[in-house]
Amino acid sequence: MRAVVQRVSAARVRVGENITGQIDEGLLVYLGVETDDEEKDLDYILDKVTNIRIFEDQYGKMNLSIREIGGAILAVSQFTLYGDCRKGRRPSFTHAAGPDKAEDFYNRFIHRVREMGIHIETGVFRAHMHVESVNDGPVTILLDSRRAF
């Protein structure tokens, strides 16, 4: 499982003319699921996203997590995180999980974040979305449950 995590001062997702998710200070998280991901992969990404210390403390150091600042998460599914561009000019998505599995993992991520008491907003799975964000810093972190990077 992969995630691109951006510290934002604002972010929102639109599908057509409808805003489906919107947050102020927090994290914009793009999630991708791999064909052979298991529960341990979801656990890893969930732990990293909810505990990563990328918000500034009173000394200006990135030392606080989303939980500690009381921020929100905007989660957006994105199979293209598994786009392989090493050969040719068109990405291959053979390692991206199929829609059923990907949607299950995406929904489980959302459910578990809510169980932690963290406010979470979402995009719409498999929809064409327009994502707008104000990256704060900018701070962007890449996470991979296989620790590929």
Reply yes or no on whether the pLDDT at 20 is more than 90. Answer: yes
Place of tokens 């341990």: 40
Q: Is 80 a catalytic residue?
A: yes
Select which of 55, 78, 105, 109 is catalytic. Answer: 78
- pLDDT tens across 1-16, in order? 999 999 999 999 999 9
Residue at 22 is within a domain: yes
Catalytic residue among 55, 79, 105, 109: 79
Is residue 62 domain-resident? yes
Q: How far apart are CA 43 and CA 12, in angstroms?
A: 25
Active-site residue (options: 35, 50, 58, 80): 80
User: Which tokens in the block code for residue 42?
Assistant: 């979801």
3-state secondary structure (DSSP) of residue 99:
helix
**Alpha-carbon separation of residue 16 from 27, 76, 105, 126, 134 (angstroms):** 23, 15, 25, 13, 20
Asked if 78 is an active-site residue, the reply is: yes
22 classed as catalytic: no
Residue 149 within a domain: no
What pLDDT band is residue 149 in, cutting at 50, 70 and 90?
confident
pTM as predicted:
0.97
Q: What is the total count of domains within the chain?
A: 1
Strand partners, 3: 31, 143
Write the CATH number for 111.
Answer: 3.50.80.10
The predicted structure's pLDDT at residue 17: 96
Tens-place pLDDT, residues 69-108? 999 999 999 999 999 999 999 999 999 999 999 999 999 9
